[in-house]
Structure 1
Amino acid sequence: MYIYLNGVIVHQSEASISPFDHGYLYGLGVFETFRTYGGHPFLLKDHLSRLKKGLKALNIEWDIKEAEIKKIVSTLLRNNGWEDAYCRLNVSGGPGEIGLQTAPYEDATTILFQKELPPSRPLREKEGVFLRLRRSTPEIDERLKSHHYLNNLAAKREIGPSHDREGIFLTGGGHICEGITSNIFWIKEGAIYTPSIETGLLNGITRQFILAMAKSLQMPVHEGLYRESDLESASEVFFTNSVQEVVPVNRIGNRTFEGREGRFVRLLHEHYQKYVTYLDSIEEMKEGNAHATND
């Protein structure tokens, strides 16, 4: 597999970083995962916007343009012989002196690698499992998609290696927060519910896209503080992330849900697929829907 590392395309066997990289020593870095569909990096503009916001919070200087990232993605796809792929863009503080640094990081390490995916993914159900482990609080005011992943790793170890189960974090105060690698939604009487950012969740790009798409479909949307009992009257539950898209839930504990047969899960999944081969940002979808309404 070929990867991008600090300005060059290299085979993975030739890639190396400094042992003094502060991403390795202190976890100073953020990353984004996104998918390509027929070679198109879906919602790349939004992923880069969140990445740059996180880098600013970590005081890491980085200025690679969207057009350059698209070129790198295309080059890697061509070299690897793929069209549909998982992409991870990783930026760390780069090498520095030993010790905690307060000055800006000016020599960031940038890595972009891919993993082949099938061209289409049918709706695949998962079981939801409420975790004993609670969600850690964000490192700063808002949770970053950072290298600090021990809380997620410990949660995954709690539920085991099965790909058919997803853990559900509660906050320290007992509110539903998010999945181990996903955001969570549920449906009640035609309305969509999801925990608010106040819970300390990662504000996923797919989460934002689903909320915008639900509004365009004129579905009532509610974000707030919810407890386990709020799921008891839900008809549908689903997880979202940028690689697995919309993942219907068929069971949580003794409670069963409609899973892949759920009307709204299927509706959202179908509409999601309409955009994946060309959309660069959520704002483009909003503008397009606004124009369609005006017409």
Structure 2
Amino acid sequence: MSDLQYHVDGELVPADEATVSVRDRGFMYGDAVFETLRAYGGEVFRWEGHAERLANSAAAISLDHGLTNSELQRRIAETLRANDLQNAYVKLSITRGVQPGKLTPGPAVHPTVVIQVKPLPRGGVATDPIWDAPATLQTVKTRRIPDDALPSHAKTHNYLNGILARLELRVSDADEAVMLDSDGHLAEGATNNLFFVDGEALCTPSLEGPILPGITREEVIDIAGEEGIPVKEGSFTLDDLRGATEAFVTNTTWEIRPVETVDGIDVGGGPLTTLFQRVYNARVERELYDGERLSSDEERTGDENGTA
């Protein structure tokens, strides 16, 4: 039995007793938006970015939930405190709530708001990653849903696209899917953004395609700018990824995870992957843990890069 507490519609309840109505539109139709966040040292990393993406997701499905960012942030902080969690996975979900059982949403919205948490190891410098090993990627037949069918920037409860992609991995030894768009170009993983190095630049599929604008993706691009590493956001083929000199995938929980193989072809990590991991961890250490594990050399590097 779990002794965690979740936040459900403004109340803290034992996780094993946390429920929503079977008539909730999030349950019935996937009519809901969510954010996966990571707390370090009791604070959510890049809350402003997550809050903006959540607002954009809600706008994309015309969900006017009426909750302010400060109220949502307060509920997250209350949940972390109630569970005495400093380092945690956090999932914030907002559904359109309970309405009459018809597909067309009604104009009156009484949203259901759920915050789930679970403990994670400390982040930052001198810590072990969440993942056990570098990622092994496998291209799947399931294509990313076109943006004109379902807004790709909206992070909704309708996750069947990614689920179908992951189901295809059952016949392989891979642990993450590579999804292509409807034209056969690289899109993203089932739960992450893709990056690879082509010998000249750091490459990643453009947000003009059906790509979720990842918060960690944005962080990596920002780090690249500070480090003077050229970035190419564009349209790429599967062969571009397979022929990369190194590759990694990103999401809020994994942070930056090296790629070992793509469709059985060795890619491996490399110096740029290591650099991005080091700088990312230093940012977390500096901003969320007051730099307590940063050496003087790392502090000087942060000052020179403008990250202090």
Q: SS where residue 283 of structure 2 aligns?
A: coil
| Counterpart in the other structure of 1:110 | 113
| Counterpart in the other structure of 1:151 | 161
Number of equivalenced pairs: 282
The answer on 1:220 being equivalent to 2:220 is: no
Alignment of 1:1-295 (within 5 A): 1-119=4-122, 120-122=127-129, 124-138=133-147, 139-160=149-170, 165-259=175-269, 262-276=270-284, 278=287
RMSD after superposition: 2.4
Contact 1:175/1:226 (8 A) holds in 2: yes
Residues 73-104 of structure 1: CA deviation (Å, up to 9, x unaligned): 33322322321111000000001011123443
Q: 1:160 offset after TM fit, Å?
A: 2.8
* Whole-Å separation in 1 of the counterparts to 2:282 and 2:161: 35
Residues 217-268 of structure 1: CA deviation (Å, up to 9, x unaligned): 1110101111111124311110000000001011112421232xx1001110
Q: 1:184 offset after TM fit, Å?
A: 0.3
Q: Percent identity?
A: 31
* Whole-Å separation in 2 of the counterparts to 1:142 and 1:231: 21
* Whole-Å separation in 2 of the counterparts to 1:232 and 1:128: 10
* Whole-Å separation in 2 of the counterparts to 1:242 and 1:214: 18
Contact 1:156/1:167 (8 A) holds in 2: yes
Contact 1:4/1:112 (8 A) holds in 2: yes
Q: Higher mean Cα deviation, 235-244 or 124-133?
A: 124-133
Contact 1:4/1:72 (8 A) holds in 2: yes
Amino acid at match of 2:26: G
* Whole-Å separation in 2 of the counterparts to 1:215 and 1:163: 35
* Whole-Å separation in 2 of the counterparts to 1:271 and 1:197: 24
Q: SS where residue 19 of structure 1 aligns?
A: coil
* Whole-Å separation in 2 of the counterparts to 1:215 and 1:93: 39
Contact 1:59/1:105 (8 A) holds in 2: no
* Whole-Å separation in 2 of the counterparts to 1:130 and 1:64: 39
* Whole-Å separation in 2 of the counterparts to 1:132 and 1:152: 12
Residues 111-151 of structure 1: CA deviation (Å, up to 9, x unaligned): 01111111133374111111122222244444311111111
Amino acid at match of 1:28: D
Contact 1:61/1:104 (8 A) holds in 2: no
Q: Higher mean Cα deviation, 158-167 or 225-234?
A: 158-167
Q: Higher mean Cα deviation, 51-60 or 263-272?
A: 51-60
* Whole-Å separation in 2 of the counterparts to 1:144 and 1:206: 16
* Whole-Å separation in 1 of the counterparts to 2:62 and 2:29: 14
Identify if the C-alpha distance between structure 1 residues 242 and 105 changes in structure 2 by more than 3 Å, giving closer, same or farther. Answer: farther
Q: SS where residue 160 of structure 1 aligns?
A: helix
Identify if the C-alpha distance between structure 1 residues 212 and 132 changes in structure 2 by more than 3 Å, giving closer, same or farther. Answer: same
Contact 2:249/2:258 (8 A) holds in 1: yes
Q: 1:70 offset after TM fit, Å?
A: 3.3
Q: SS where residue 276 of structure 1 aligns?
A: helix
- Structure 2 length-normalised TM: 0.84
* Whole-Å separation in 1 of the counterparts to 2:268 and 2:214: 24
* Whole-Å separation in 2 of the counterparts to 1:129 and 1:163: 9
Gaps of 5+ in 2: 289-301
| Counterpart in the other structure of 2:294 | none
Q: Higher mean Cα deviation, 60-69 or 152-161?
A: 60-69
* Whole-Å separation in 2 of the counterparts to 1:104 and 1:240: 37
Amino acid at match of 1:176: L
* Whole-Å separation in 2 of the counterparts to 1:254 and 1:162: 10
